[in-house]
Chain A
Amino acid sequence: MTSEEGTWRRHARGVAPGLSARVGKAIKCFNPNRWGEFLTTELEVSRKNGLLPGVAFLLLTLSAVALFVIPAWIIQPFRYQSPRALSLALTLRQIAPGGTLLAGVVALFLAMGLWPRMSRWKKAATAVGLFFIAAAAVMARTDYFEWMFHPVSAPGFQSVTDSKLDSGEMVLAVRFGNEARAYPIRAMAYHHVVNDVVSGIPIAVTY
């Protein structure tokens, strides 16, 4: 857009709000400098500028969302995971934190640059897009499986006599050196993994 067109466009916006949004059509409006005269211009140029960033923004949004949604959809419980699908899911999960961040930064710059020239609905669409990218970036960094099964941050232990566990309950038991530890299945079936150190040996108790 030339500076002259810019001036006209600002004038158009100032004098006849709403008209300037109709990009690509001739805009006729009052010339504020000369009362009674009209200014007419073609704003075809600004349409050419506007399409590319819009498409780029849309692609960035879709990519960021896909980086979260595709692996989440593949790694679902009660769904068959083929080796190829699993491999794709894990690859996407690996690049998702960086990918969504990059998409977010680029999209934000695009949005900031275009914001003053955007119509109201484009601003709304841009805000929605940015929200989706931000949500994807947060989810890419979130272990949402732990929402359902909370991890054991620091395992605590009881003596045999203090434990209220019923004698018939099953446990996973280890012994290293003189240390013997039992991990009740009842707790393991919920937490699934406990990181521990027994007699100086780091172990991962899994169930």
Chain B
Amino acid sequence: MKKRKFEEQFFKALMILSTSLIVGSFFLIVGTVVNKGLPALDWDMITRTPDGGFYIGKEGGVLNAIIGSLYIAGGSSLLALLVSMPIVIYINIYLKKSSWLGSITRLSYDVLFGIPSIVYGAFGFTIMIWLGLKASLLGGIITVTLLVIPIMIRTMDEVMRTVPKELIDASLSLGATRLEASKVMLRQVTPGILTAILLSFGRAIGDAASVMFTAGFSDNIPTALGSPAPTLPLAIFFQLGSPIEEVQARAYASALLLTIIVLVISILARILSKRFSKNKI
């Protein structure tokens, strides 16, 4: 009996330790970014572009990178959603459970999921050279879309698989077509889809390697799909590399901005997801 009680206590302690580790890391990271970034975060940072001497410590901000990042993350999340949705509906509702096509699809996105973003960056770069495209907003959006599609599909597929078959059968037996039954299913998994979008957006806005060669960088706000698109991760990268202390502090301020954007998006997604789950069975 004593042994069982000890075992229970021991593993419970381990669980508490791990849990506090993750919560602790969260606060530690956010704390560091806030601590180092907040002093350098001023109104100029978010309302101005790097005018001339920004990188040597003169006035300016990272508005160009904020806008560029939002464009790239928003555009690629939207594109990825458009591509992923038909795929998950097809493999979950149209294909039979044992279908080889379904298995191959799942295998492919699992492999794609594991490919590092720099490889996507290199791949996108090669394609762009081949097509004669310059580093641009369009190039960045397309490359980042490739990067987040597997994340999107995987997350959506996982929630779709939890939908009871009887729910689909229920709408089919009312004479619904498979497409109409899919719409019912989508209502059921709306919170899951929002999570998928959120995860993809978070990944898209935070990735530096995939946009380094494909989106390029500039001090101006991108005005067309063909113009180079600055991004926050790269802005952080450039500023951190500077020997000037003021510029380094601005890197943390930019990191703080990035964190805030992701945080706002997650909170929004949570609120929306609550709204959409009231009808969930």
Do they bind each other?
Answer: no
